[in-house]
Homo-oligomer: A and B are copies of this chain.
């Protein structure tokens, strides 16, 4: 209709210089994963941004807001907003840190734990869609490579290799 030769043209697009750059592929794959994630989390009142906050609170780490900001690479002021949202829904609580009265520790409520359980399962299912083109082994390889990129500091074992 619009074009006489759409199929070879599509291949030309995919083989174009940008479309083969790692950063471009990463951005595009992430966009797909992100929208699938948000769709899966919406029923729980969560988003891709707030879900990790709830998850880390539920993981028994008793994180301070500062630790959450560092780990999630968010500004502390953004963490405030995310926790406000989760707290308004009754999913988490701010508790005073007895070791440092400036800090507040994030703790899940019972409802928060239930929501996280359900949301975690929904996310796992939602991941299936965008990554279904890969085999299980390929998904594991992808996760391993991404983890190294995402956490460049952390070595596999514990001794920091001198290179």
Contacts and interface: CB of A to CB of B under 8 A. Distances in A.
Grouping DSSP codes into helix (H, G, I), strand (E, B) and loop, the A interface class, with mixed when no group exceeds half, is: helix
A131 B24 CA distance: 13
A143 B22 contact: yes
Contacts of A88: none
A77 interface: no
A111 interface: no
A130 interface: yes
Interface in A52-68: 52, 55-56, 58-59, 61, 66-67
A87 interface: no
Nearest to A34: B27
Contact of A134 (B10, B14, B31, B148): B148
